[in-house]
Amino acid sequence: MVINLGLDSDFGGLEAMYTALSDEYLLLRRHRKFGMFIMCCILVIACLPTVTNGGNYVVQYLDKFSTGPALMFVVMMEAIAASWVYGINNIVYDIQLHLGFQPNYFFRFTWKILCPVIVTLLIIFSLISPDELKYRNYLYPSWSIIFGWCFNMTLILPIPIIIIYVFIRYSDSEKSLKERIYSLFVPTITKQRLKRQLEKRSTFVVS
């Protein structure tokens, strides 16, 4: 039962990572089985230290720094980008266009208000918690705590780096700074364009 539970919990994360990579690199989409096999081998090798004699200490360390404020910050940015930048009304329209019905106001409130607020509170509580990391009678050294926070920063830094890159690469230099920043937070696809794309796909599937 424990083995099946562990395998089942890996499917979602593995599919999410591979889908994101295959969207960027079409070669992985064409050779899905081989690519998935290579990814599984890499993950197995990366997880081998957790099954050694000191594996429990590694698991505690990863549990502290791999699921901490950095991951919650990424989740908060996703919630803000989807509900506020792209717009909750656009999300509702997309769902109606795909499924034929609109989500009720409970889901809209949850996506737009409740999720960002709760995740923000979780980030605050995790930051004010003591940095001391201890497992059984072993106190982790200070350098490991510093390394853990540096690891957290590697998860956060891609967000501002991509924002700066897009601002420099794609913004119109003839516009003012305010207009250039505003253009980064405007959806590039309109409702009419999305509807036309879906109609083309539906026509292709039917034909």
Note the pLDDT of residue 207: 43
What pLDDT is recorded for position 73?
87
- Residue 206 pLDDT: 41
State the SS3 of the chain.
Answer: CHHHHHHHHHHHHHHHHHHHHHHHCHHHHHCHHHHHHHHHHHHHHHHHHHHCCCHHHHHHHHHHHCCCHHHHHHHHHHHHHHHHHHHHHHHHHHHHHHHCCCCCHHHHHHHHHHHHHHHHHHHHHHHHCCCCCEECCEECCHHHHHHHHHHHHHHHCHHHHHHHHHHHHHCCCCCCHHHHHHHHCCCCCCHHHHHHHHHHHHHHHHC
Whole-number average pLDDT of the chain: 80
What is the 3 state secondary structure string of 52-73?
Answer: CCCHHHHHHHHHHHCCCHHHHH
**Residue 205 pLDDT greater than 60, yes or no:** no
**pTM for this predicted structure:** 0.66
pLDDT tens-digit map of 118-129: 988 888 887 776
Tens of pLDDT, residues 76-99: 888 888 888 888 888 888 888 778
pLDDT tens digits along 151-190: 888 888 888 888 888 778 776 667 777 777 777 777 666 6
